[in-house]
Structure 1
Amino acid sequence: MDNLLEKLNKLAVFFIAYTIIFLVFFKTLGYTLPFVLAFLFALLLHKPTKYLIEKFKFSNSIASLLTTFLFFSIIISLLSWGITSLTSEAIQLGKNTQSYIVQNTDNISNFFDRAQNYYKNLDPTILSAIESNLSSTASKASKTAVDITTKMVSGTVSFLGYIPYILMLVLCTLLATYFFTKDFTSAKDKFLDVIPSHKSDKLFYVFNESKKMLGNYMLSYMLIISLTFLETLIGFVLLDVKYAVILSILSAIFDILPVLGIGTIYLPLALIYFLSKNYFVAIWVVVLYVVVTIVRQIVEPKIVSSSLGIHPVPILAAIFIGLKANGVSGMFFCIFLVVSYTTLKKVNVL
């Protein structure tokens, strides 16, 4: 009985502490973002920096400067390519939106003309009511498309207003990454000197296990997102879909937002091609949507559970319960709860 109460007390303390840390971390992330990113980047760059120091006898400062510079050069180059592609395709999409609307409106009118020829014996009142309702729906869809285009333009303008903040964020992250990377070893040694020797090994073990599981978690979802992006890009290129890059990137982004999902991109795209009488592409876009969705549902639990060393059922339960309770934030809360509990249990804290 005493052992049971002790375990329940530990679980209660763990759940309360985890909830407080989770809420504080995400509520303050807007203020601490450059330093959180810098710390994660420093963890990533620690081994390459250590390799340069040991292999080529560079000083700590020079090695940290080289790894930080190379890392940010790669990141900024990839972001520049992505932003350039997105901007180019977004501009073309904005220019062609109106022509799509006009073309689809004409197709709807032609549909009614053909319907009248086939169903001449149908009551004109009924046919008129159907045409009125569908025309109203088409008008609303056109208005929605215009609103989306307007929001894209205003979003681009708003993004330009955030450029000074983004530049400051990049600069702060870069400098903090350099200093964190340079001082990582000495800071770790100083921290361990403060901790009693009989507890430092266990604390270091907990830190390493937590770092490994967090890295595996992030890597697993990056793999899932990359898989969705590649599947979409290859499928759209083979089908000769316009704006394949921007649509693939948006599909990958929406793929991690279960409330929206990739259907937000695929289904309107299939409808556009259907109304444009390109039935072949419309059907294959729907088929591709089904295939990507099935692959996602099969792959996600397996990748996440295998990378974290957790059975797929707790991961599935965390995703479902979290989404049901509080959407995307609830999903992350439950998944990190399972990961944290598994880590602490593995190192015999719980």
Structure 2
Amino acid sequence: MSVLNKSFLHKLKDNIIFFIIYSILFLFIVKTFGYISPFFIGGLLAFIINPISRKLERKFKINKGFSTLFLSLLGVALVIFLATFGLIKGSQQLVRFLNNIDSNSYSYLGNMINNWVNEISKYMGYFQDSSGSSFNIRELISNYGQNLADIAKAMLAKIIDLATSLPTIILIIITLFMSTYFIAKDFDKIGHGFLNIFTDETKVKVRRIKSEVICSIKGYVKAYAILMSITFLVIWISFTVFKIPYGLPLGIIGALLDLIPFLGIIVIFVPVIVYYFWMENYFVSIGIAIVFIALSILRQILEPKLVSANVGISPLMTIIAIFVGIQVAGVLGIIFCLGLLVMHDILKKVEIL
């Protein structure tokens, strides 16, 4: 005698098949991204370029081939500029960081760290005298500092290797441009060719899936754009009010780091709070701590609501996806779990699941 309803078993089977197919595709993209990245980025650029080319052709009678070529060059140039700018700025910061570690000069940061170490060593001395144990805080800091320096040096070496691999970089740029141009030029043909493998009834569902996916991506970008804007404004304004230097760049960095749940703004706020506390500027330390707590609470309240409102999944499922994702695989886990929920919801809407 069957205990479970046949309809439920049928849906369960379909959901298991969907989960397996989704997981395989996600893993395939992640594992092969280094090889397919020029085509993936080219496809995204082509997706953005195609509607612009259509409008230029329709409103201004500009040949689509010419507009696609121009927009492809512009899009690839923008990607190259952003990547180059990031590499240059990143390498400059790493070099400065390594110089501060390797030099014996007492910089602003070095004095701060030395003050911390002296205070910690003083308190640790009391415990050592009473317990008879031996614990060298300076040696511990030195070991961790050396490990940090080794990591920074390895990152800098990778950047230098990339910068010196000129033939590879030229090949990637050419591949990116060619893939962007040809995908954008034949975007409609590729779309029609893909649809032609399905029956007429299925084509309607595929078009609906495409529409829902685009709406979900737009909603996801909109939700996190709002969250990142709030983080940027709060950091910039609060640091300006409390006269903490570098409020604008730290606000930008904090907004970008805000994409990493449970870490993001901690990297910006906690060192500032600790530093001003040790400098006995309790007003600034407590004030920034209150701002940090308020922003953390606000973000935890807004994130599920904004994602659910703009993407279309329930706040509870959003919280579960974020929590499970961060526990399993960090940021990549969140992308996997949220993508799974969104695709499942879309397939339910088009009556496939």
Report if the CA contact (8 A) 1:259-1:327 is conserved: no
What aligned pairs does 1:279-290 form with structure 2 within 5 A after superposition? Answer: 279-290=282-293
Q: 1:111 to 1:38 in 2, by over 3 A?
A: closer
- Residue number in structure 1 paired with 2:61: 57
What aligned pairs does 1:124-273 form with structure 2 within 5 A after superposition? Answer: 126=126, 129=129, 136-137=136-137, 140-141=140-141, 143-145=143-145, 147-149=147-149, 151-163=151-163, 164=165, 168-244=171-247, 247-258=250-261, 260-273=263-276
Residue 47 of structure 1 deviates from its aligned partner by: 1.1
Residue 28 of structure 1 deviates from its aligned partner by: 1.6
Residue 88 of structure 1 deviates from its aligned partner by: 5.4
1:47 aligns to 2:56 (yes or no): no
Q: What CA distance in whole angstroms lies between the structure 2 residues aligned with 1:240 and 1:149?
A: 30
Bigger relative contact order (CA 8 A; separation at least 6): 1
Which one-letter code corresponds to 1:190 in the other structure? G
Q: What CA distance in whole angstroms lies between the structure 1 residues aligned with 2:329 and 2:310?
A: 25
- 1:28 is paired with a residue of what secondary structure? helix
Q: 1:188 to 1:62 in 2, by over 3 A?
A: same
- 2:186 is paired with a residue of what secondary structure? helix
Per-residue CA deviation, residues 21-61 of structure 1 (Å, 9 max, x unaligned), is: 22222222221111112112211222111101111112221
Per-residue CA deviation, residues 191-210 of structure 1 (Å, 9 max, x unaligned), is: 33443333322222222222
Q: What CA distance in whole angstroms lies between the structure 1 residues aligned with 2:326 and 2:127?
A: 44
Per-residue CA deviation, residues 202-258 of structure 1 (Å, 9 max, x unaligned), is: 222222222322332244334433433443344334444445465445434443333
State the superposition RMSD in angstroms.
3.5
Q: 1:259 to 1:209 in 2, by over 3 A?
A: same
Report if the CA contact (8 A) 1:108-1:275 is conserved: no
Residue 345 of structure 1 deviates from its aligned partner by: 0.6
Which one-letter code corresponds to 1:151 in the other structure? I
Report if the CA contact (8 A) 2:121-2:137 is conserved: no
Q: What CA distance in whole angstroms lies between the structure 2 residues aligned with 1:280 and 1:85?
A: 33
Q: 1:134 to 1:185 in 2, by over 3 A?
A: farther
Residue 107 of structure 1 deviates from its aligned partner by: 6.5
Which one-letter code corresponds to 1:19 in the other structure? S
Runs of at least 5 residues in structure 2 that lack an aligned partner in the other structure: none
Report if the CA contact (8 A) 1:322-1:331 is conserved: yes
Q: What CA distance in whole angstroms lies between the structure 1 residues aligned with 2:134 and 2:302?
A: 40
Q: What CA distance in whole angstroms lies between the structure 2 residues aligned with 1:243 and 1:90?
A: 18
- Residue number in structure 2 paired with 1:12: 16
Q: What CA distance in whole angstroms lies between the structure 2 residues aligned with 1:274 and 1:138?
A: 21
Q: 1:202 to 1:104 in 2, by over 3 A?
A: closer
Report if the CA contact (8 A) 2:120-2:137 is conserved: no
What aligned pairs does 1:95-106 form with structure 2 within 5 A after superposition? Answer: 98-99=106-107, 100-106=109-115
- Residue number in structure 1 paired with 2:345: 342
Q: 1:129 to 1:206 in 2, by over 3 A?
A: same
Q: 1:134 to 1:225 in 2, by over 3 A?
A: farther
Residues paired across the two proteins, number: 340
Which one-letter code corresponds to 2:347 in the other structure? L
Report if the CA contact (8 A) 1:93-1:243 is conserved: no
Q: What CA distance in whole angstroms lies between the structure 1 residues aligned with 2:248 and 2:150?
A: 21
Q: What CA distance in whole angstroms lies between the structure 1 residues aligned with 2:75 and 2:31?
A: 28
Q: What CA distance in whole angstroms lies between the structure 2 residues aligned with 1:81 and 1:237?
A: 26
Which one-letter code corresponds to 1:342 in the other structure? D
- 2:352 is paired with a residue of what secondary structure? coil
Q: 1:162 to 1:249 in 2, by over 3 A?
A: farther
Per-residue CA deviation, residues 278-305 of structure 1 (Å, 9 max, x unaligned), is: 4444333323322331222122111111
Provide the identity percentage. 28
Residue 318 of structure 1 deviates from its aligned partner by: 1.4
Deviates more, 1:101-110 or 1:63-72: 101-110
Deviates more, 1:222-231 or 1:16-25: 222-231
Report if the CA contact (8 A) 1:254-1:260 is conserved: yes
Runs of at least 5 residues in structure 1 that lack an aligned partner in the other structure: 116-124
Report if the CA contact (8 A) 1:216-1:307 is conserved: yes
- 1:49 is paired with a residue of what secondary structure? helix
Calculate the TM-score normalised by the size of structure 1.
0.80
- Residue number in structure 1 paired with 2:295: 292
Q: What CA distance in whole angstroms lies between the structure 2 residues aligned with 1:7 and 1:186?
A: 35
